[in-house]
Amino acid sequence: MFYQSGSFRILEAGLQFSQLQQNLHLQNIANIETPGYKAKALVFKEVLKKASVTGKRTSTIQAAVVTDESSSAQPDGNNVDYELESIALYKTYVQHSMLLDKITGEFDKYNYVINCNMK
């Protein structure tokens, strides 16, 4: 089925990553008044793997949560910038919504095909 295709799996992975990004931004905002709290961010790195069966190298993307140890934005050692976090949260919300719309569109296409064949 279409939900087993590579493109659908990429959409699904993108949805999971955007959800993780949203959670990190929300965590940072929730800790804006916590003394000494350092903002966390999600970074992606490309990793080359060597497939054991085919002998071909494949490229995968991995996500890692990193802590921003840069200078403090507040006197108490906290470095969370509310405006930057809010903008980043909205950006990931838009990406998440777009991915959901794309997935919903794929289901709608198949629903249309199934309903046309039933007539």
Q: Tens digit of pLDDT for each residue in 40-89?
A: 988 876 555 555 556 565 556 677 788 888 777 678 889 999 999 999 99
* 41 burial level (CB within 10 Å; 0-12, 13-18, 19+): middle
Higher pLDDT, 34 or 51: 34
4: which DSSP letter?
Answer: G
Domain ranges of the chain: 2-118
How far is residue 55 from each of residues 3, 23, 59, 88, measured CA to CA in Å? 28, 38, 13, 40
CB atoms closer than 10 angstroms to residue 20: 14
Q: pLDDT tier at 30 (50, 70, 90 boundaries)?
A: very high
Average per-residue pLDDT in the chain?
82
What pLDDT sits at residue 73? 64
Which token pair is 67? 């802590």
Cα diameter, the chain: 69
